[in-house]
Amino acid sequence: MVQSQQIKVMSNQYRLKLGGNMLVYQYKIEILGMEMWDANLVQQICRFKRKALETALGFNVVSGYQIYTLQELEENVDFPALFRGAKYTIVIDKSTQC
């Protein structure tokens, strides 16, 4: 069971103004097809698939190995991407919810 707690949400990417009580869900994000983890490449791939991510997850922020969203996942999701001629898959596993 996931416990809730009050947190302060901050981002170095842009200013966030969230009103009232809301739940923010945190999941581990994995990029299949990368030889080694490259945070810059992760951001580029996620920006490239931004529309698909927002359609499935709503508002979201990727930071490091995590993705934060206002929607709880019902199941695992993956997003295939052909980026700069290389095949990648963005994988978000529901079981990694924090």
Q: Within a domain: residue 52?
A: yes
Percent of the chain having pLDDT more than 90? 65
Q: Within a domain: residue 39?
A: yes
Please say if the pLDDT value at position 95 is more than 80.
yes
Number of H helices, E strands in the chain: 2, 5
The torsion of the CA quartet 83, 59, 26, 49, rounded to 10 degrees, works out to -10
Domain with 84, as residue range(s), is 25-96
- Residues 26-52: tens digit of each pLDDT: 999 999 999 999 999 999 999 999 999
Q: Within a domain: residue 31?
A: yes
Of the pLDDT bands very low, low, confident and very high (cuts 50, 70, 90), residue 74 is very high
The pLDDT of residue 22 is 73
Task: Give the count of domains, the chain.
Answer: 1
Place of tokens 């508002």: 59
Q: Within a domain: residue 40?
A: yes
The pLDDT of residue 72 is 92
The residue length of the chain stands at: 98
The pLDDT of residue 98 is 84
